[in-house]
C-alpha cells in the first residue's frame, strides 16, 4: 500500500542524515548498545492515508468518476468542506467565502491547492445539480463539487473529523460542521479552520498549509491585510446592582 | 481489537493496568453515545511503576550576551515583521541570561516502549526548570533548532514561547504571530517583578508569582507542538516563598518544604501530567483530525508513563501542572487520605492553606501546589496518586469513578530531618475584590460557544487584526465568561491573573480563593463564571483563549489591547 517512492525518499533522507550529509559514502554508523532501538520513523503520509483518506468513489460536478484518495488528494494540497445545494443556513456564506478565497489565490487555485466541496445530500445533489450550483456561484477551475454514495460520504466525513460529538446535532444536516479541512498530503500536514472565518484568514491558513514553516505568512504584513477592527462586543458599564450580588469570599 | 474509546474508559475502570494477555481488558458497562468510528489505535500495554519520576534539570544561566532585534517573522516577504517587535534591549545589569535550544531528540516514555522522537527545550521532555527570583530579571534566548524535514508529522518547526502565568510585556508574551523559525531565535525578557495593583493601589508584593510554565504558542499548531514536548516549568521565588525554602533564616520566609543541594532542588518537586497515545510499535501518535481535543490513554508524568517516586517520612511540596491538550484530572491519594495542605493554585499562593482536601481538579494548563506529609505513613507504605475523573472526548470531563488510574506511586521509606512548615498564613491578599471593585466601571461578557463545527468567542473567531476589548491600562473590569452547549473550556487570560468572583452567582470553588490565570467554564463546572480581570502596567495587545489547545488552534481566541 505504501507508495514505494515515498518510502524510498524517506529512507534516503534518513540515510543521508545518518551519514551527516557527507558526499562520500560513509561507513555504516555504529549502533549504540541500546536495549531497544528506535523503530523506523513512521510514515505520517501512509498513516494518515490509511486512517483518514479512504479511496471512495465520487462523481464531480463535471460528471467525472473519481477516487477520493487517488485522484483528488494524493500528492496535492487540498481544502475540503461539506455542503449541500439546498442548504440555506451557513452554506451560502461558506461558499461565498471559498469563492473569495479562490479568487484571491488567483492562478494558484487549481495549481497549488485544490478545493473540494462534498455533498451531504448526495441523492438530490446529482452532478447536474452541483454543476448548476458551481456555475451559479461563479466557481472557477481547481474546485470540484462532489457527490457519491451516502454511506461512503458519511464515512469520509467522520474520518476527516467533520462531525459533531452531540449525535442530535450531528444528525441534523442544517447544523453540519462548517470547517474547511486543509491538507498538504505529501507533507502529511493537516489542520482545519472554520469556513466562516474571514476569507483572508482562510487563504493565509491555506498558504500555511502549502508552504514550509520557514515561509509561513505570520507577521505584521499579513495581519494588516484586513482592516483593523475594534469590536468591543459584550462591553457594558457597571451598574450599582452588579456589585451587590457577588458572594463574599474568604 | 479494542477500540480506542474502550481503552480510554478501561484505563480508568481497570486501574490502568488491568490488561490481560493479548491486550484485552475487562470492560465495565460502557455508555453508548459513541458517534464516530474509532480511527486510532490504543497504546500497547505498559507495566506501571518501573521507572523513577524524573525531575527536570534546573536551567543554568550563561554569560551575558548582546540581544538582537526580533526576527522578521520567518517569511521572506519584504516588510514583514513580528506584531510585537523589540530591538536590541537595554537589559538591567543584574539580569540572568539563558540560552535554550528547541530541538528534536529521542525520548523514552517507558522502558518497554522504544524511544520516541520528541521536540523539547534543550531536547528534554519536560524542558529545564527555571528557578527565577523576584528582583532578578531574566532574559532567555530561545533558538529554534527544530528539523525542517521532520518525518514524524507531529508539529511544525515554527515557534512562539509563552510564559504561562507570567507578567511580561506584549513583545515577550509569545503572541501567536510573533513566531521564529528554524535557524532563528527570539529573546524574551521577563522582568521578575510582581504586577502592580490596579488603580494605583499599594502592596504589589502580594502578586508575586509561584508556579508558571513555558510552552509553545505558535498560531495553528500549538496543540501538536506542545504535545510533541515543548513545555517546561518556570518557578518564581521571593523573600516570603523563598529560594532557600525550609533552610531560610529570614524570619519573613515561610519555610515551605524545599531546599537546594547543589543544582538539585529537594523536597519541592514540579510534576507535569500529560496524556499521550502510542501506536503498536510504541511510537508517539497524535491526531490532527481530532479538533474536539486530543486524548491519550497513557499518563505521562515528567516524561515517564506511570513512574514511582521514593520519598522520606517528611513533608514534600508538589507543584502539579496539567500539561495535557484537552484532558481534565481529579487527583486523589489512594491509601493516603486527603492532601494535607493545598497551598496554591495556578501561579499564586493562597492566603491560608486549605487543609485535608480530598481531591484536586485540574483542567488543562491549571496548576495546584500541595504539601503531603509522608511522616503520617510507616516506612514501606505505598501511596498512589490517581486520577478518578473519566473523560472520553474533548468536550468535557464526564464523571468520577471509585477507583482511578494510577499516575504515580510514592514509596515511603526512611526518616530525614524536616525543618519545613506550612504556616497558617501564606500570602495575604491585602488588595482583593473588596478593595478593587469600588473603582470598577466596565464589565464585559465573553461567551465561549460551539458553532458550526468550531468554537467562537462572542460569535467571532480569532482574527489577528481585531481587538475584542480595549481596557484602560492599570484598571480592572468584571468579566463574565460563559460556556453552554455541553462543552467545558479552560479559559486562560494572558498578562495578569484574575480574582474569581462567582460561579453561577455562588461562591467560587475552594481552589479558586487566590488569583488564577486559567478557569474552567461550562459542563461539569458552571456555565457562568464572573472574574475580576486586571490590566496592569503594559499597553499593547495580549490574547485570551480556550486552553483546550485544539480549540485554541481552531481560533477560540480573542485579544485585548490595553489603552494608555
**Mind listing the pLDDT tens digit for each residue in A164-223?**
888 888 888 777 778 999 999 999 999 999 999 999 999 999 999 998 888 888 888 888
Q: Which residue is closest to B39 within chain A, CA to CA?
A: A51
Spatial distance between the Cα atoms of A142 and A180, rounded to a whole number of angstroms? 16
Q: Which chain B residue has its CA at the smallest distance from A227's CA?
A: B465
Asked if residue B37 lies in contact with residue A159, where contact means CB atoms within 8 angstroms, the answer is yes
CA of A202: which chain B residue's CA is closest? Answer: B463
Higher-scoring residue by pLDDT: B14, B89: B89
Cα–Cα distance list, B63 to A231, B73, B95 (Å) = 46, 26, 10
Q: How confident is the model at residue A243 (pLDDT cuts 50, 70, 90)?
A: confident
Let me know: does A250 contact B351? Beta carbons within 8 Å. Answer: yes
From residue B168, give the alpha-carbon distance in Å to each of B38, B196, B214, B497, B537: 43, 12, 13, 12, 9
Q: Pick from A165, A219, A235: which is nearest to B73 by CB?
A: A219
B181 interfacial to chain A (CB closer than 8 Å) = yes
B415 touches chain A (CB under 8 A): no
Quote the CA–CA distance of B319 and B164 in Å, as a whole number.
15
Q: Measuring CA to CA, how many Å separate B188 from each of A25, B85, B214, B444, B544?
A: 42, 11, 11, 31, 19
Q: What pLDDT is recorded for position B75?
A: 67
In sequence order, the β-bridge partners of residue B502 are: B530
> What pLDDT score does A178 carry?
87
Of B22-36, B60-74, B453-467, the poorest mean pLDDT is in: B22-36
| DSSP structural state of residue A101 | H
Whether residue A226 and residue B463 make contact (CB cut-off 8 A), yes or no, is yes
Q: Which H, E and C letters describe A174-219, residue by residue?
A: HHCCCEEEEEEHHHCEEEEEECCCCHHHHHHHHHHHHCCHHHCCCC
Mean pLDDT, chain B, rounded, equals 91
Which position has the grid cell 473550556?
B489
Q: What is the pLDDT of residues B326-355, one digit of tens each?
A: 999 999 999 899 999 999 999 999 999 999
Residue B68, pLDDT score: 87
pLDDT on residue B12:
42
pLDDT given at position A33: 41
Nearest residue on chain B to A13, alpha-carbon basis: B149
Q: Cβ B82–A219 below 8 Å, yes or no?
A: yes
Q: What is the dihedral of CA A87, A93, A95, A101, to 10 degrees?
A: -170
| Tens digit of each residue's pLDDT (9 = 90 or more) over B192-246 | 999 999 999 999 999 999 999 999 999 999 999 999 999 999 999 999 999 999 9
Q: How many angstroms separate the CA of residue A143 from the nearest CA in chain B?
A: 22
**Confidence at A1, pLDDT banded by 50, 70, 90:** very low
More confident site: B458 or B29: B458
The band of B5, judged by pLDDT with boundaries at 50, 70 and 90, is: low
Can you give the length of chain B in residues? 564
pLDDT given for residue A235 in this prediction: 96
Between chains, do B151 and A13 touch, taking CB under 8 Å as contact? yes
What's the confidence (pLDDT) of residue B6? Answer: 52
Please compute, for residue B468, the number of CA atoms within 13 A of its CA located in the half-sphere on the CB side: 24
Asked if residue A3 has pLDDT above 60, the reply is no
Q: Which residue among A13, A175, A216 sits closest to B74, beta carbon to beta carbon?
A: A216
Query: Between these two residues, B412 and A223, which has the higher pLDDT value?
Result: B412
Confidence of residue A28 (pLDDT cuts 50, 70, 90): very low
pLDDT greater than 70 at residue B43: yes
Whether B221 sits inside 8 A of A191 (CB atoms) is yes
| pLDDT reading at B10 higher than 80 | no
Q: Which residues of A touch B433 (CB under 8 A)?
A: 246, 249
The Cα of B75 is separated from the nearest Cα of chain A by a number of Å equal to: 4
Match 491585602 to its residue by C-alpha cell.
Answer: B430
Mean per-residue pLDDT, A132-141: 94
pLDDT at B21: 27
Q: Give the Cα separation of B195 and B208 in Å (integer).
A: 7
Choose the closest CB to A220 out of B82, B117, B352: B82
Q: Which of B39, B111, B282 sits opposite A51 (nearest CB)?
A: B39
What pLDDT is recorded for position B24?
26
pLDDT at A93 > cutoff 60: yes
Q: Which of A90-104, A167-181, B38-52, B208-222 has the highest mean pLDDT?
A: B208-222
What is the DSSP-derived secondary structure letter of residue B469?
B
Mean pLDDT for A226-243 is: 90
For residue A147, the model assigns a pLDDT of 98
Band of the pLDDT at B32, cuts 50, 70, 90?
very low
pLDDT (mean) for A155-168:
91
Taking an 8 Å cut-off on Cβ atoms, the answer to whether A226 and B288 are in contact is no
Residue by residue, DSSP assigns B33-45 as: ---S---SPPPPP
First to last CA, chain A: 64
Query: Which B positions 135-174 lie with beta carbon below 8 A of chain A?
Result: 148-149, 151-154, 156-158
Mean pLDDT of A35-55: 81
* Axis-axis angle for helices A44-52, A4-18 (nearest 10): 150
**Contact between chains at B554 and A192 (C-beta distance less than 8 A):** yes
In 3D, which of B406, B412, B390 has the Cα closest to residue B48? B406
Distance (Å) from the alpha carbon of A161 to chain B's nearest alpha carbon: 5
pLDDT at A11: 40
**Angstrom distance (rounded) from CA A208 to CA A216:** 5
Task: List all residues 6 or more positions away from A88 whose beta carbon is below 8 Å from its beta carbon.
Answer: none
- Mutation target for A interface from B8, B441, B465: give the one with most A CBs within 10 A: B465
Strands B518-522 and B185-190: unpaired
User: Residues 418-477, chain B: which have Cβ within 8 Å of A?
Assistant: 429, 432-433, 437-438, 440-447, 451-454, 456, 458-461, 463-470
Least CB–CB distance from B148: residue in A213, A220, A235 = A213
Kindly indicate the confidence band of residue A241, based on its pLDDT and cuts at 50, 70 and 90.
confident
CB atoms within 10 A of CB B236: 24
Q: Does B281 touch chain A (CB under 8 A)?
A: yes
Inter-residue contact B501 to B530 (CB < 8 Å): yes
Bridge partners of A180? A193
Whether the bond between A47 and the residue before it is cis, its omega within 30 degrees of 0, is: no
Q: Which three cell numbers, joined as nine digits, stand for A50?
A: 490509511
Name residues 352-381 of chain B within 8 A of A (Cβ). Answer: 352
Tell me the CB-side half-sphere exposure of residue B357, using CA atoms within 13 A: 20
Helix H or strand E segment including B552? helix B549-553
Across the interface, whether the CB atoms of B74 and A229 are under 8 A apart is answered no
Note the pLDDT tens digit of each residue in B233-291: 999 999 999 999 999 999 999 999 999 999 999 999 999 999 999 998 999 999 999 99
Q: Say if CB B70 and CB B186 are below 8 A apart.
A: yes
Chain A CB contacts of B465 under 8 Å are 223-229
Instruction: Return the SS3 of B23.
Output: helix
Interface contacts A/B by beta carbons within 8 Å: 265
pLDDT over 80 (residue B487): yes
Grid cell 540515510 in the structure block, residue = A15
CA end-to-end span of chain B:
61
Instruction: Look up cell 477507583; give the residue.
Output: B403
Closest CA to B59 of B184, B147, B161: B161
Query: Residue B258 phi/psi, 5° resolution?
Result: 135, 140
- Report pLDDT for A38: 63
Split at pLDDT 50, 70, 90, the class of A103 is very high
Q: How confident is the model at residue A10 (pLDDT cuts 50, 70, 90)?
A: very low
CA B458 to chain centre: 25
pTM over 0.80: yes
Estimate the share of chain B in helix, then strand, then coil, as percent rounded to the nearest 5: 10, 40, 50
Give B549's contacts (C-beta < 8 A, 6+ positions apart).
Answer: B222, B223, B226, B227, B293, B325, B326, B364
**Does residue A31 have a pLDDT over 50?**
no
What's the distance, CA B440 to chain centroid?
30
- The full length of chain A comes to 250
In this prediction, residue A249 carries a pLDDT of: 54
Q: Is the pLDDT of residue B34 over 70?
A: no
CA distance B74 to A217: 8
Order of strands, edge to edge, in the sheet holding B308-311?
B308-311, B400-412, B382-389, B329-334, B360-362
Instruction: Give the per-residue pLDDT at B215.
Output: 98
Structure confidence at residue B17 (pLDDT): 31
Contact B13, B28 (CB under 8 A): yes
Contact across the interface for A219 and B40, Cβ inside 8 Å? no
CA distance B516 to chain A (A): 15
Mutate to test the interface with B, among A89, A225, A233, A248 (most CBs of B within 10 A): A233
Give dist(CA A22, CA B191) in Å, integer.
45
- Residue B39: its pLDDT value, please? 65
Quick: pLDDT tens for B164-174. 999 999 999 99
What residues of A are in contact with residue B395 (Cβ under 8 Å)?
165
By Cβ distance, the residue of B80, B446, B465 closest to A234 is: B446
- Residue B28 neighbours by CB distance under 10 Å: 11
For residue A231, the chain B residues in CB contact (below 8 A) are 460, 466-468
At B8 the pLDDT is: 56
Q: With contact defined as beta carbons under 8 Å apart, do B40 and B4 qualify?
A: yes
Q: Which of B289, B463, B507 is the mutation pick for testing A, counting most A CBs within 10 A?
A: B289
Mean pLDDT, residues A84-90: 88
Amino acid at each position: 500500500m505504501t507508495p514505494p517512492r515515498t518510502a524510498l525518499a524517506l529512507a534516503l533522507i534518513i540515510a543521508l542524515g545518518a551519514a551527516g550529509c557527507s558526499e562520500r559514502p560513509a561507513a555504516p554508523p555504529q549502533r549504540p548498545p541500546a536495549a531497544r532501538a528506535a523503530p523506523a520513523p513512521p510514515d505520517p503520509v501512509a498513516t494518515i492515508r490509511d486512517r483518514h483518506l479512504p479511496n471512495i468513489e465520487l462523481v464531480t460536478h463535471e460528471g467525472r468518476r473519481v477516487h477520493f484518495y487517488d485522484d483528488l488528494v494524493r500528492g496535492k494540497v487540498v481544502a475540503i468542506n461539506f455542503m449541500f445545494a439546498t442548504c440555506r443556513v451557513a452554506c451560502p456564506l461558506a461558499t461565498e467565502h471559498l469563492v473569495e478565497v479562490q479568487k484571491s489565490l488567483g492562478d494558484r487555485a487549481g495549481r497549488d491547492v485544490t478545493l473540494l466541496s462534498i455533498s451531504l445530500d448526495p441523492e438530490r445533489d446529482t452532478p447536474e445539480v452541483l454543476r448548476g450550483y458551481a456555475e451559479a456561484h461563479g466557481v472557477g477551475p481547481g474546485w470540484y463539487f462532489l457527490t457519491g454514495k451516502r454511506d461512503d460520504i458519511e464515512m469520509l466525513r467522520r474520518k476527516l473529523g467533520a462531525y459533531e460529538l452531540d449525535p442530535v446535532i450531528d444528525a441534523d444536516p442544517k447544523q453540519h460542521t462548517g470547517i474547511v479541512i486543509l491538507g498538504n498530503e505529501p507533507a502529511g500536514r493537516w489542520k482545519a479552520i472554520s469556513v466562516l472565518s474571514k476569507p483572508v484568514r482562510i487563504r493565509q491558513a491555506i498558504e500555511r498549509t502549502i508552504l514550509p514553516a520557514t515561509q509561513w505568512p505570520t507577521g505584521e504584513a499579513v495581519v494588516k491585510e484586513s482592516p483593523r477592527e475594534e469590536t468591543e462586543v459584550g462591553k457594558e458599564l457597571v451598574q450599582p446592582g452588579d456589585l451587590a450580588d457577588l458572594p463574599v469570599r474568604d | 481489537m479494542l477500540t480506542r474509546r474502550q481503552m480510554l474508559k478501561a484505563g480508568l475502570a481497570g486501574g490502568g493496568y488491568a490488561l490481560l494477555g493479548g491486550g484485552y481488558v475487562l470492560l465495565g458497562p460502557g455508555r453508548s453515545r459513541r458517534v464516530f468510528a474509532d480511527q486510532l489505535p490504543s497504546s500497547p500495554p505498559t507495566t506501571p511503576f518501573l521507572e523513577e519520576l524524573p525531575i527536570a534539570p534546573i536551567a543554568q544561566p550563561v554569560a551575558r550576551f548582546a540581544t538582537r532585534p526580533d526576527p522578521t517573522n520567518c517569511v521572506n516577504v519584504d516588510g514583514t515583521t513580528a506584531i510585537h517587535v523589540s530591538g536590541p534591549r537595554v537589559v538591567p545589569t543584574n539580569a540572568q541570561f539563558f540560552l535554550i535550544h528547541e530541538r528534536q531528540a529521542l525520548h523514552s516514555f517507558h522502558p518497554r516502549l522504544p524511544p520516541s522522537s520528541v521536540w523539547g527545550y534543550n531536547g528534554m521532555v519536560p524542558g529545564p526548570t527555571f528557578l527565577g527570583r523576584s528582583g532578578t530579571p531574566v532574559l532567555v534566548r530561545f533558538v529554534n533548532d527544530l528539523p525542517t524535514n521532520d518525518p514524524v508529522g507531529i508539529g511544525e518547526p515554527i515557534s512562539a514561547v509563552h510564559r504561562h502565568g507570567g507578567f511580561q510585556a506584549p513583545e515577550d508574551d509569545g503572541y501567536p504571530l510573533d513566531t521564529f523559525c528554524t535557524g532563528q531565535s527570539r529573546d524574551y525578557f521577563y522582568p521578575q517583578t510582581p504586577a502592580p495593583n490596579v488603580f494605583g493601589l499599594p502592596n504589589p508584593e502580594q502578586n508575586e508569582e509561584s508556579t508558571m510554565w513555558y510552552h509553545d504558542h505558535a498560531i495553528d499548531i500549538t496543540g501538536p507542538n506542545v504535545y510533541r514536548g515543548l513545555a517546561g516549568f518556570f518557578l518564581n521565588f521571593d523573600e516570603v516563598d523563598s529560594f532557600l525554602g525550609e533552610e531560610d533564616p529570614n524570619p519573613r520566609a515561610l519555610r515551605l518544604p524545599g531546599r537546594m543541594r547543589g543544582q538539585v532542588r529537594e523536597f519541592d518537586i514540579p510534576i507535569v501530567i500529560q496524556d499521550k497515545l502510542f501506536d503498536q510499535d510504541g511510537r508517539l501518535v497524535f491526531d490532527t483530525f481530532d479538533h474536539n481535543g486530543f486524548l491519550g490513554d497513557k499518563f505521562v508524568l515528567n516524561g515517564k508513563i506511570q513512574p514511582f517516586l521514593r520519598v522520606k517520612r517528611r513533608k514534600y511540596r508538589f507543584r502539579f501542572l496539567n500539561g495535557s491538550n484537552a484532558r481534565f484530572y481529579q487527583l486523589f491519594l489512594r491509601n493516603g487520605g486527603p492532601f494535607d495542605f493545598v497551598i496554591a493554585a495556578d501561579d499564586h499562593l493562597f492566603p491560608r492553606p486549605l487543609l485535608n482536601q480530598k481531591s484536586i481538579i485540574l483542567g488543562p494548563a491549571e496548576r495546584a501546589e500541595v504539601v503531603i506529609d509522608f511522616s503520617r505513613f510507616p516506612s514501606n507504605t505505598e501511596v498512589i496518586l490517581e486520577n478518578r475523573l473519566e473523560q472520553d472526548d474533548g468536550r468535557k470531563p464526564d464523571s468520577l469513578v471509585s477507583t482511578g488510574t494510577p499516575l504515580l506511586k510514592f514509596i515511603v521509606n526512611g526518616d530525614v530531618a524536616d525543618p519545613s512548615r506550612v504556616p497558617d498564613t501564606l500570602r495575604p491578599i491585602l488588595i482583593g475584590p473588596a478593595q478593587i471593585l469600588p473603582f470598577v466601571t466596565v464589565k464585559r461578557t465573553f461567551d465561549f460557544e460551539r458553532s458550526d463545527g468550531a468554537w467562537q468567542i462572542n460569535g467571532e473567531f480569532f482574527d489577528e487584526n481585531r481587538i475584542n476589548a480595549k481596557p484602560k491600562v492599570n484598571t480592572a473590569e468584571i468579566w463574565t465568561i460563559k460556556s453552554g452547549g455541553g462543552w467545558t473550556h479552560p479559559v486562560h487570560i494572558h498578562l495578569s491573573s484574575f480574582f474569581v468572583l462567582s460561579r453561577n452567582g455562588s461562591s467560587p470553588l475552594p481552589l479558586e480563593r487566590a488569583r488564577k490565570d486559567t478557569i474552567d467554564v461550562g459542563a461539569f463546572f458552571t456555565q457562568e463564571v464572573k472574574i475580576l480581570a486586571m490590566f496592569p502596567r503594559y499597553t499593547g495587545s495580549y490574547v485570551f483563549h480556550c486552553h483546550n489547545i485544539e480549540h485554541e488552534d481552531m481560533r477560540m481566541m480573542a485579544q485585548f489591547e490595553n489603552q494608555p
